[in-house]
Amino acid sequence: MKQQQYDVVVVGGGPAGLVAAIQAGRAGARTLLVEKNGMLGGTLTVGGINYPAHFFAWGRQIIGGIGWELFCRAYRESGQSIPEPGDGSRHLPVDAFLFAALADEAVLAAGVELLFHTMPAAAAFKSGAWNLSLCTKTGLRKIRAKTMIDATGDANLVELAGFPLERADVVQPATLSFRASGYDLAALDEQALNAAATAAIAAGELISTDISWYGSGPGGVLRSRGNNINHIRAPEAHTSEGRTRAEVEGRKSLLRTYRFMRRQPGLGAYQIDWFCTETGIRETVRIVGKTTITAADYERGRFYDDAVCYAFYPIDEHLNDGRGINQRPLKPGVLPTIPRGALLPAGSQGLLVAGRCLASDREANSALRVQCPCMAMGQAAGALAALGTASGRDPGDVPLADLYALLRRHGAVVPGEIRLDQEPGQESV
């Protein structure tokens, strides 16, 4: 079979990858999007965290473009009003089914070839392009690409290509979201439930983080009905072995919670109506990039010379020892940026990353990993890849003026366009 040729191959169809592929396709690049699951959206869909953060900061829209377009399409489809810019503190819920289906629609409309249930097996740069082996359900498929974008969240492509990664001895725990029903919250005795949970933990029947990482006991599970409430230890989740352990441990945690709840007065009909098909991973590895974003630079809102997008979220480190989270909100008026250099593995050619695995220290990464910054850096990566292949340049050498012009044409907010010292809408005056 003749080796297929692409301008851009994106591996990973989460918030970063699907936006990267749409942008590359709309810019005229022959693009392939490869995804390990059976739907697009990543944590927003299969991970159950369908309330992206944050499109807005300090009364301005700081992330727009293709991610915002998909979000607005889902809102219009369901008859909801489009949210207005706020202070950035609100997560904006979106229908996960609509987002996934509309993402399919947008990807295909952009001329992107879509391949589900596929993983990369090998990657090597040779004669000015990437030779990539993909493991499909019918065997290995060999392709060639001028530029690759690693949007796996785990830097799988970067590792296969032989570039170094940053690993931490301890990583943030994961979460397996679910939906529980079969009880009347108002009729329950929470004090008695807390006492029963304390006894169950002492007996080894429960782990404290099974029922709430907020430290609110079983009431946390019951009030949230299972939404983003537990902590699952997930070391080495960038590997198949580590990810398998995380999935099994996630379901073990839900089963312990289920058995405990059903034994309590008023909870005999407690049930889990649905649970996510995969455990949501917060942290695995990060690339060694040409630029590394530090927490200090993030928290002071450093404006990088090669900034490609804005980001906005507190430092949000979930602790692995059951003590909840370390969260530090950004100070008023702080508006961080993401540099192109953080998307470029050091020493690479024709290779970009977008999403959680960008070059950053652990604390900065705890803020940058969330969905809206991932969408923004995905659009920047897709634009850089398309412009680079069209001009024969490496993504790191594409003129920023060309990048900004393309991003503007597709609705993105370009770094430098937000002036917090002026009224909204007056920045260009």
Domain layout of the chain by residue ranges: 4-166+285-409, 178-275
Asked whether 348 and 163 are in contact (CB, 8 A), the reply is: yes
CA distance 347 to 26: 28
CA distance 210 to 324: 12
Model confidence pLDDT, tens digit, residues 68-85: 999 999 999 999 999 999
DSSP-derived pairing of the beta strands 139-150 and 129-136:
antiparallel
Query: Does position 185 have pLDDT exceeding 70, yes or no?
Result: yes
Query: Does position 90 have pLDDT exceeding 70, yes or no?
Result: yes
CA distance 279 to 145: 31
Query: Does position 350 have pLDDT exceeding 50, yes or no?
Result: yes
Q: Helix (H, G, I), strand (E, B), or coil: what is residue 137?
A: coil
Model confidence pLDDT, tens digit, residues 186-230: 999 999 999 999 999 999 999 989 987 767 789 889 999 999 999
In this predicted structure, what is the pLDDT of residue 428? 43
Phi and psi at residue 428, in whole multiples of 5°?
-90, 0
**Mean pLDDT, residues 298-317:** 98
In this predicted structure, what is the pLDDT of residue 427? 56
> Which listed CATH number (3.20.20.10, 3.40.30.10, 3.50.50.60, 2.60.120.10) goes with 4-166+285-409?
3.50.50.60
Model confidence pLDDT, tens digit, residues 238-254: 999 999 999 999 999 99
Query: Does position 340 have pLDDT exceeding 70, yes or no?
Result: yes
Asked whether 270 and 259 are in contact (CB, 8 A), the reply is: no
Residue of higher predicted confidence among 386 and 320:
386
In this predicted structure, what is the pLDDT of residue 3? 82
Query: Does position 27 have pLDDT exceeding 50, yes or no?
Result: yes
**Mean pLDDT, residues 418-423:** 78
Phi-psi region of 202 (alpha: psi -120 to 50; beta: other; left: phi over 0): alpha
The crossing angle, in degrees rounded to 10, of helices 15-26 and 371-391 is 30
**Mean pLDDT, residues 395-402:** 98
- CA dihedral of residues 194, 199, 202, 203 (deg, nearest 10): -140
Query: Does position 423 have pLDDT exceeding 70, yes or no?
Result: no
Q: Sorting pLDDT into bands at 50, 70 and 90, what band is 167?
A: very high
In this predicted structure, what is the pLDDT of residue 429? 33
In this predicted structure, what is the pLDDT of residue 242? 97
Query: Does position 87 have pLDDT exceeding 80, yes or no?
Result: no
